[in-house]
Structure 1
Amino acid sequence: MDWQSIFAPSVPLLEGFVRGTVTFLVLLVFLRLVGQREAGGLGITDVLLVVLVAEAAAAGLHGEAESVTDGVVLVATILFWSVAVDAVAYRFPRVGALLKARPRALIENGMLNRKVMLREFMTPEEVQSHLRLHGIEDIAVVDRAYIEPNGMISVVRRDRGETEPVEPPESL
């Protein structure tokens, strides 16, 4: 076994860092443009992180990369940018508004927000479906409903004034 070929990087470390940086940032912008609903139960950054780390690690594991070090540099770069984006979004709220998804009002005062529905490509029937998961048949009883950054819908009812759980209840 040639230990040198397993651990010696096949590309310069700076090139691996730049490749990981560009990939992370471009995919972050693309996923941010796609919308919140596509993320499912995870935040968009979480989905991005899982996919990129898995892909970067797989190259080193399956021998597609020239060395394990190449995969480790990519994984470390992706993890670095994940933490850096979160830190910048936390430290600078205005930048955070661009980098991180915020809850969007899907229903206000019992009325559908068509602009948000268009942005998220949601039909009225899909909104009704989500409301039924919260036990709501009539949109008129909804004070506010938000599409959360993780893609789930949270509901504030007029009659109770309390927030329903973000995750729908489990069926029996």
Structure 2
Amino acid sequence: MFTIVFGSGPHLTWAQECARGALVFFFCLLLVRLSGRRSFSRWSPLDTVVSIIVGSTLSRTLTGNAELIGTLAATTLIVLLHGALAKGAAYVPFISALVEGQPVTLGTVGQHDPRKLKRHSVSPTDLEEAMRAAGIGNVADTSRITLEPSGKITFLKS
């Protein structure tokens, strides 16, 4: 019955691909709900890598290029590893630094450091856009500019 509904191998009917699509959709929704709010509320390097791997892996299942049950099991393992590393990062600073990175100070006392901007691939346009989004009109109005591990630029106003 399972093979009739979901098929096997690379030669699937459109109905089998649709059945796989529905199964993968609800499976992925379940995994996201089980993994918690952190999965998509704050994108760290760890979150980005897991998202790419899960998306790539599950897409192969839809078309029959990968075994359905084995792929769902591997995806579950990836999500569990993500959860374990996220928990570890919350408790162990070394793990946090390893998988999420550290914030970088791009400027202090109303000035930005052009060398640090270049080193971290932040263009002047990126900095200006982040300032506008934060409601800051001039770098001189800041006491600290930080590039967060998520890639977001934050400001402390002076």
After TM superposition, is the score higher than 0.5? yes
User: For residues 106-165 of structure 1, what are the alpha-carbon distances to aligned partners after superposition, in whole Å with 9 as ceiling and x for unaligned?
Assistant: 22111213343123212334322321232322211111121222222221111xxxxxxx
Q: Structure 1: state its 5+ residue gaps.
A: 9-40, 159-172
1:64 match: secondary structure: coil
User: For residues 4-35 of structure 1, what are the alpha-carbon distances to aligned partners after superposition, in whole Å with 9 as ceiling and x for unaligned?
Assistant: 9x699xxxxxxxxxxxxxxxxxxxxxxxxxxx
TM-score calculated relative to the size of structure 2: 0.65
Aligned 1:1-172 pairs, distance under 5 A: 3=3, 42-65=43-66, 67-158=67-158
User: For residues 34-69 of structure 1, what are the alpha-carbon distances to aligned partners after superposition, in whole Å with 9 as ceiling and x for unaligned?
Assistant: xxxxxxx7322222222211211121221011x211
- Tell me how far apart the structure 2 counterparts of residues 95 and 115 of structure 1 sit (CA, whole Å): 28
Q: Determine the structure 2 residue equivalent to 1:30.
A: none
2:52 match: secondary structure: helix
Larger proportion of helix: 2
1:135 match: secondary structure: coil
- Tell me how far apart the structure 2 counterparts of residues 125 and 53 of structure 1 sit (CA, whole Å): 33
CA RMSD of aligned residues (A): 2.6
User: For residues 87-121 of structure 1, what are the alpha-carbon distances to aligned partners after superposition, in whole Å with 9 as ceiling and x for unaligned?
Assistant: 32233212321221232212211121334312321
1:151 match: secondary structure: coil
Counterpart contact for 2:105–2:146, Cα < 8 Å = yes
- Tell me how far apart the structure 1 counterparts of residues 2 and 135 of structure 2 sit (CA, whole Å): 62
Q: 1:117 to 1:137 in 2, by over 3 A?
A: same
- Tell me how far apart the structure 1 counterparts of residues 129 and 110 of structure 2 sit (CA, whole Å): 15
Q: 1:137 to 1:56 in 2, by over 3 A?
A: same
Residue 82 of structure 1 and its aligned partner are, at CA, apart by 0.6
Counterpart contact for 1:7–1:69, Cα < 8 Å = no
Residue 74 of structure 1 and its aligned partner are, at CA, apart by 2.0
TM-score calculated relative to the size of structure 1: 0.61
Q: With CA pairs under 8 Å and 6+ residues apart, which has the higher RCO, 1 or 2?
A: 1
Counterpart contact for 1:44–1:150, Cα < 8 Å = yes
1:144 match: secondary structure: strand
Residue 79 of structure 1 and its aligned partner are, at CA, apart by 0.7
- Tell me how far apart the structure 1 counterparts of residues 110 and 75 of structure 2 sit (CA, whole Å): 46
- Tell me how far apart the structure 2 counterparts of residues 115 and 95 of structure 1 sit (CA, whole Å): 28
Q: Structure 1 segments of 4 or more deviating over 3 A? A: none
